[in-house]
Amino acid sequence: MHMTLETLSPLHIGGGAGVLKSFEFLVQKDRMIAVSEDRLVRALAAENLLEDYIATIDKGLQRFRLGDYLRNRGFDQPNLLSNITRYSCRIADVNGVQDIRPFIRDAFQRPFIPGTAIKGVLRTAIFYCAIKRMSEDRKKRFLDDPIRRSLENFKQKNDTRRGTKEWTKKNLFSRQENEFFQNFKTSKDTKKSDPKTDLLRVLRVSDSKPLERDCAEVRQAKIFRIQASDNPKGFSIPVECIPAGITFHIDWSIDMDLLARFREQNHTKNDWIPWASLEDLVTHPFACAVEMANDVLKHESDFFLEAFGEPYPIDPGENFHLGWGGSLLLSSVSFLLPAELRIEMRNLLFTDRGDAPAPKSRKRLVDQPNSGTVPGWVKIIAKED
């Protein structure tokens, strides 16, 4: 099936590049220019500036600005800059920009939306909708009780190493998720609980077609918190975003032959949810994403009015959240946990905020000093078989 999506708010999806450091980009007027390190080195060497460049960085990277360095050496002519440019983005506010989180790009430096990112959203949403359809008793046994045990085990170990806490955060829901999706067989001889028996092997999602190379913008994200007198926090997180109003196209499909193999071996399975109900969710993954998003939107609307005195900037509709910047409620099934269990999870694994709602903070892309939109919302605008 072919699908067209549109960004309702700026979208950020990171790649494996980490962050752009101050020697990897420069700002000229209202554009951020990401440079090719190899081409920059060759150009500096041709001007006998390479040793000076390295020595200047060695004096202090925190104070180094590539644009200032090139201007001071008379190296900012347009033809020289074009030779070292990988891509550029519009940037409105350059104050305090030291590192930038780049958007994922292909080999030609064009931003694109990876199918894996969309499939990750759909996996969480299918999981969410399946748990939502369980009876209260089954939900408690399947989700609430195991999470309580995991948090209690973490508390008893009293392991203060950061790696242990990060591992627990990352894997808190994965055991239940794997039990749910991988507890199947594809033949009489296969074993359960293996990636090869993962039910979502039937779901395939393509990468989007590449977008225009220089269509992104750099936005400043800030942290806003409920019950805080210093909103937003003083620091910013500069991120490359695809602006609102951009359309992109993907293809997705269900491998019906593989699904039939799963059905043949597992149709009597009824550990947590009837097979027919599960198959319906798996074959309508975007409906799950929209359902989950709209459930959370109701909560977020109330939260924004109470915390910030303003409405949530996204209305309910055929929308879902994708990429960076959503709260834990949008990136996991934590919205289905009792509120007191979410608070305990936050206090143990993140920051202890006492009885404050969990999560307490939200990332927002600032348009004004004390306000801003929320990143990562997309809308389904067309579907074609």
pLDDT digits (tens, 9 = 90+) for 255-271: 999 999 888 888 666 56
Residue 286, C-beta contacts closer than 8 angstroms, at least 6 positions apart: 3, 122, 252, 320, 380
Using only C-alpha atoms, the chain has a radius of gyration, in whole angstroms, of 24
Residue with tokens 């020697």: 23
186 and 63 share a domain? Answer: no
Q: What is the pLDDT of residue 170?
A: 85
153 and 61 share a domain? Answer: no
32 and 145 share a domain? Answer: no
347 and 302 share a domain? Answer: yes
- The single-letter DSSP state of residue 73 is T
Residue 289 lies in a domain: yes
123 and 271 share a domain? Answer: yes
Q: Which domain holds residue 61?
A: 19-91
- The single-letter DSSP state of residue 280 is H
Residue 204 lies in a domain: yes
Residue 244 lies in a domain: no
Residue 271 lies in a domain: yes
131 and 69 share a domain? Answer: no
143 and 85 share a domain? Answer: no
Residue 132 lies in a domain: yes
Q: What is the pLDDT of residue 189?
A: 61
- 137 burial type by CB count under 10 A (0-12 exposed, 13-18 middle, 19+ buried): exposed
Residue 98 lies in a domain: no
365 and 264 share a domain? Answer: yes
Domain end residue (candidates: 32, 59, 91): 91
Mean pLDDT of the chain: 89
Q: What is the pLDDT of residue 158?
A: 78
296 and 348 share a domain? Answer: yes
Overall number of domains in the chain:
2
pLDDT digits (tens, 9 = 90+) for 278-313: 999 999 999 999 999 999 999 999 999 988 888 999
- Given a contact cutoff of 8 angstroms between Cβ atoms, the answer to whether 177 and 143 are in contact is no
Distance from C-alpha of 169 to C-alpha of 163, rounded to nearest angstrom: 10
255 and 312 share a domain? Answer: yes
pLDDT digits (tens, 9 = 90+) for 227-252: 666 666 767 889 999 999 999 999 99
Buried b (16+ CB within 10 A) or exposed e, 297-319: beebeebbeebbeeebbbeeebb
Residue 84 lies in a domain: yes
Distance from C-alpha of 273 to C-alpha of 135, rounded to nearest angstrom: 9
For the chain, residues with pLDDT lower than 70 are 61, 94-96, 188-193, 227-232, 234, 267-271, 367-371
Measured in residues, the chain has a length of 385
Domain end residue (candidates: 59, 91, 123): 91
Residue 364 lies in a domain: yes
Distance from C-alpha of 270 to C-alpha of 82, rounded to nearest angstrom: 61
Distance from C-alpha of 159 to C-alpha of 232, rounded to nearest angstrom: 32
Residue 364 is which amino acid? R
Q: What is the pLDDT of residue 379?
A: 97
pLDDT digits (tens, 9 = 90+) for 340-352: 999 999 999 988 9
288 and 150 share a domain? Answer: yes
The angle formed by the CA atoms of residues 34, 39 and 41, to the nearest 5 degrees, is: 105
154 and 74 share a domain? Answer: no
Domain end residue (candidates: 33, 59, 91): 91
